[in-house]
Amino acid sequence: MARAASISARSRRSSEELPSHTFGGDVEADLAFLLSEGKRNLARFNPNLIERAFRFCVKAHEKDVRLSGEPYYTHPANVALIVMREIPLDDVSVVAALLHDVVEDTPYTLKDVRAEFGSEVADVVDGATKISDVFKSREITQAENYRKLLLSLVNDVRVILVKFADRLHNMRTVDSLPRERQERLARETMEIYAPFAHRFGLGNMKWELEDLSFRILNRDAYDDIQQRVSKSRKELQDTIERFAAPIREKLTENGLKFEINGRPKHLYSIYRKMLAQGKTVDEMYDLMAIRIILDTEDNNECFLAYGIVSEIYRPIPERFKNFISVPKKNGYQSLHTSVISADGKPLEVQIRTRAMHDFAERGVAAHFRYKAGTGSTASWVDASDLEEWATWVRDVFENAGDGAAEELLESFKLNLYQDEIYVFTPKGELRILPKGATPIDFAFDIHSQVGARCIGAKVNGKIVPLDHQLITGDQVSILTSKNQTPHRDWERIAITHKAKTHIRRILNEERRARVVEGKDIWDKRAKKLGLHINDDELERLCVQAKYGGRTDLFIALATGSITPEAAADTIRQMQAPLPQKSDVYSVINGEQFRSAARDKNDGLVLRDARSSSAKIMYSYARCCNPVPGDDVVGIVTIGSGIKVHRASCRNVTDLQDKLQSRIVDLDWSSTSGGEFLAAIKITGDDRPGMLNDITSAVVSVQKTNIRGVTIDAYDALFEGILTVYVVDLAHLRKIFERLHKIRGVKSVERFEE
């Protein structure tokens, strides 16, 4: 039989329905009330155990008084009551709640608790005590605190549930504390406890924690919203009655058993929506949600009810969310839709079964069981997503690097609290990611190697940049290359902790390897040139030469950004004056230079007849990548050869006056050969298959070898950089011709860094 529509501030039993009792007046009356509530709410209930724990608690705290003046035992008694009513698990949880402050605040030890109540109770009390220790430093931004917090809860979820109840009662009675401590507790609650409650599916507790914190942190806004919502309560009640009447009639005709109720959205939720939409309370229409709770085990009846509601009221299509077929990460299931009511205002409707509603109210507690027997341990049931999350927690902190506390904290907050999107692999496999996730996050979610080798992505068949934000329903394909490694920018683009952790780890490993490699290169060059410079002197000279320091120099040497010759030349220049114009050719013709150049091919020759027969030691500038056929010039370096640039290179033309004394004219020799690196910038229309057409066109020209491809798309256009190996300028021009012929390509040109 259908139940009448009703409105309540919370969808659990309202305060009017709960037996009223205030702890602290009479110990025996308090015990009797606690036992009656335990019998009413707990499936596993041992009254003797709870009575012993209550009396132990009263005795342990008999000399303690709260700041409000109440006996201290009233606090653990209220925490136990919250556990009984709002997250009812078992009698062990209630006993742990009664004893959660005993070890921390009284002479009794954990050994005493274990001897009196057994290992199961002692372990939960121990976990709750350790979590309390986390916050003694009053520093909530320490990654180590999160490490302790999470690693304690993944072994027995009752630890964190007791701590939730403890924090909830503290926030309900926060007014007796000094203002500074109120604000600290409120910030801590908003940043840690509310997100955790959300992650564990404890909807009611999350809402109340947020509202209680909101009241402390922004009292003016809280009072304003509360006053306006209270004024409209009668109007909301009337709206529910009018809205529910035709739905109730149709649901009954279809033989459904149900309850319809309405709840005002909690105040902090309204406040956040006001900020996001730039509206006042009076301009907000969706201040409440209607719930249809079906007494059935058949999920299909939820869709039947949705069809009935949609026949009566016009739905808003983009506001439909199916969390039954695709539950949230915390296990939440429900159908959400918004419809236009008879008076033209949008109303949110949530449709769920009674079991789904119980989980929405109690979260992980609804999926909890215990092994039989003394000393039983907690385990997860029908909550593979939470099991997976607990495993993720362990992995996060076991692999977290040092010195990343702030990043860890921010990333973890996002993973706890962000909305979710649902995206698919090319084979249709569902992946759940936080809102705002990018292809990089998707790639690392697939596998760390897929993420590390990602060079691009296609979303719904179109190439997108790696910082593209994915949305629900996207089908994502990751393009990879075995030569690819993560870029430093990726850490900024990624938002999931998994992606950020892997990127940071790979970059750090790569950096360490580059430093070792570069140091070896430098040591060999310095030894060959007879440079005797200690580490401190090298550090000073590197900073003076704008290398940043020894480490940066070694990395530049290892990556080829700086040649050993150029680095040695620069360091020596810090101690010697630059050559004059008259000295340039004597430097080139010197015995030291010719000796160092004997193993080089004669790919270039000087136009000056005096030096045309000398072997020339040279390296090609990476800024402009000259190839045979280009007009080139050389920049003379002391004792280390010539740096070859294209004559049009901006690094040469912009510094023409400063470099004039060191510029020499060069020609390509007839014996120049091999392959040369060239960079091509290409732009055009973004369309499916464009990347494949580009790479095919390049490879078709003399079987050109492609070293790398980087492509970003903006709206309907793309811009890409290709690095290829060519034998000369004619080879490069043929590639240009092929690229120009591709449909949608707008420009092709040489690329200079």
Question: Do the domain assignments include residue 191?
Answer: yes
Q: Kindly give the interhelix angle for 119-134 and 110-117, rounded to the nearest 10 degrees.
A: 150
58 and 170 in a single domain? The answer is yes
Place of tokens 């077929």: 325
Give tens-digit pLDDT for 19-59.
Answer: 567 787 788 998 999 999 988 888 778 999 999 999 999 99
Give tens-digit pLDDT for 292-344.
Answer: 999 998 989 999 999 999 999 998 887 888 888 888 776 788 999 988 888 77
Q: Which of 694, 671, 566 is nearest to 623 (CA)?
A: 566
CA distances from 27 to 64, 496, 503 (A): 15, 50, 58
Question: Do the domain assignments include residue 496?
Answer: no
144 and 247 in a single domain? The answer is no
Question: Do the domain assignments include residue 21?
Answer: no
Residue 611 has what pLDDT? 46
The residues annotated as belonging to the active site are 104-105
695 and 612 in a single domain? The answer is no
- Report helix, strand or coil for 44: coil
305 and 343 in a single domain? The answer is yes
Written as six digits, the tokens of 368 are 């909890």
Give tens-digit pLDDT for 487-526.
Answer: 888 888 898 878 888 888 888 888 888 888 888 888 887 7
| Number of separate domains in the chain | 4
> Are the C-beta atoms of 117 and 49 separated by less than 8 Å?
yes
Which residues are CB-contacts of 350 (< 8 A; sequence separation ≥ 6)? 289, 290, 291, 292, 334, 335, 336
Query: Greater confidence, 642 or 157?
Result: 642
* Helix/strand number for the chain, H first, E second: 32, 23
- Give the CATH number for residue 246: 3.30.460.10
pTM of the model: 0.54
601 and 667 in a single domain? The answer is yes
When pLDDT is cut at 50, 70 and 90, the band that residue 6 belongs to is very low
654 and 680 in a single domain? The answer is no
598 and 702 in a single domain? The answer is no
- Report helix, strand or coil for 106: coil
Give the other-Cβ count within 10 Å of 572's Cβ.
17
In eight-state DSSP terms, residue 375 is T
Residue 57 has what pLDDT? 92
Residue 309 has what pLDDT? 92
266 and 317 in a single domain? The answer is yes
- Picking from 195, 219, 249, the residue at the C-terminal end of a domain is 195
Residue 538 has what pLDDT? 75
Q: ∠ at Cα 451 (447, 457), nearest 5°?
A: 115
Written as six digits, the tokens of 329 are 């990460």
* Distance from chain centroid for Cα 554: 32
- Give the CATH number for residue 105: 1.10.3210.10
Q: Which residues is 258 bridged to in the sheet?
A: 294
Provide mean pLDDT across the span 3-16: 39
In eight-state DSSP terms, residue 475 is B
- Give the CATH number for residue 741: 3.30.70.260
Give tens-digit pLDDT for 424-480.
Answer: 888 888 788 888 899 999 999 898 889 988 988 999 888 888 889 998 888 999 998
> Are the C-beta atoms of 172 and 209 separated by less than 8 Å?
no
Question: Do the domain assignments include residue 223?
Answer: no
43 and 139 in a single domain? The answer is yes
> Are the C-beta atoms of 642 and 635 separated by less than 8 Å?
yes
Residue 364 has what pLDDT? 59
Question: Do the domain assignments include residue 1?
Answer: no
- Rounded mean pLDDT of the chain? 77
Residue 439 has what pLDDT? 94
> Are the C-beta atoms of 353 and 293 separated by less than 8 Å?
yes
d(CA 214, CA 194): 11
Provide mean pLDDT across the span 199-208: 82
Q: Which residues is 718 bridged to in the sheet?
A: 684, 713
155 and 62 in a single domain? The answer is yes
d(CA 709, CA 697): 13
In eight-state DSSP terms, residue 472 is T
Domain range for 266: 228-365
When pLDDT is cut at 50, 70 and 90, the band that residue 590 belongs to is very low
- Picking from 143, 173, 195, the residue at the C-terminal end of a domain is 195
When pLDDT is cut at 50, 70 and 90, the band that residue 591 belongs to is very low
d(CA 80, CA 153): 19
Give the other-Cβ count within 10 Å of 747's Cβ.
11
DSSP 559-572: HTSS-HHHHHHHHH
Question: Do the domain assignments include residue 154?
Answer: yes
d(CA 690, CA 458): 11
Q: What b/e string do you get for 147-170 counting C-beta neighbours within 10 Å, with b at 16 or more? A: bebbbbbbebbbbbbbbbbbbbbb
290 and 162 in a single domain? The answer is no
Question: Do the domain assignments include residue 182?
Answer: yes
**Which parts of 560-605 fold into alpha helices (H)?**
564-573, 584-589, 591-596
105 and 159 in a single domain? The answer is yes
Written as six digits, the tokens of 53 are 């724990």
Question: Do the domain assignments include residue 311?
Answer: yes
- Picking from 673, 696, 724, the residue at the C-terminal end of a domain is 673
